[in-house]
Amino acid sequence: MVDGTGRYILGQIDSEIIALLNESIQDVLRAKASKVANIIYINDSIKVFLDPILPQPRLLILGGGHIAVPLTEMGKLLEFHVSVVDDRLSFANPTRFQSANQVLCQDFEKAIREFPFDTNTYVIIVTRGHRHDKTCLAEVLRRKESAYIGMIGSKRKVAALIEDLSEEGFTEEELINVYAPIGLDIGAQTPAEIAVSIIAEIIMVRRYGYSHGLKTQQGGMNNG
């Protein structure tokens, strides 16, 4: 930590100043973005620049289909560590996903169980069918650490899948954190446009902690 002149002052900040900065520190950690905090300390106005040092966010894309390709490129552009998983070699290979940090041709269940989840992990479920979506969502929910879980699908398909998982014992508190249908409502139609809507929702959740996406507009539980 340095002062305004660049002088190293780590360990020299009064604990009372730290206490005054607590709310601003929480804001910075929640928004994952820097800010200038203004506080009054012993009749002096002090400006403090707060810049969080965070681990690189992880983007886990489950499914290597047509939407996954632009998702990978956009995730990399936004400095995510991008991992793509599919159980078909023709879809899970480095040639197809040249922007990815990691491409796994593996059973979805095994890949999710072995993935290093943390609170900076953002999960996108875009597999080729209901059965795989359900498997992926159930396994991801069991990990309990993701910052974001989104799943593609129509309102009807999503409702049926959520009902299935509810009957299998997943709680409303767990299921409410799933962003499905995934993405912001921008009228997306092409794979690239759909990828933009998904990445935009992830940015919104990352910065604000909620989304006014398709799920909210279609009567879902995520309402900010």
pLDDT tens profile 147-190: 999 999 999 999 999 999 999 999 999 999 899 999 999 999 99
- The domains located in the chain, with CATH, are 1-54 (no CATH), 58-217 (3.40.50.720)
Show the low-confidence residues of the chain (pLDDT under 50).
2-6, 8, 219-224
Determine the distance from the C-alpha atom of residue 74 to the mean position of all C-alpha atoms in its chain, rounded to a whole number.
13
Average pLDDT, the chain: 88
How large a percentage of the chain has pLDDT more than 70? 90
Q: Looking at residue 208, what is its pLDDT?
A: 86
| 25 burial via Cβ count (<10 Å: 0-12, 13-18, 19+) | middle
* Digit-coded pLDDT (tens) for 29-40: 777 778 888 888
- Report how far apart, in Å, the C-alpha atoms of 214 and of each of 74, 76, 102, 174 are: 20, 24, 29, 19
Q: Looking at residue 22, what is its pLDDT?
A: 83
Q: Looking at residue 215, what is its pLDDT?
A: 67
Q: Looking at residue 12, what is its pLDDT?
A: 60
Q: Looking at residue 13, what is its pLDDT?
A: 66
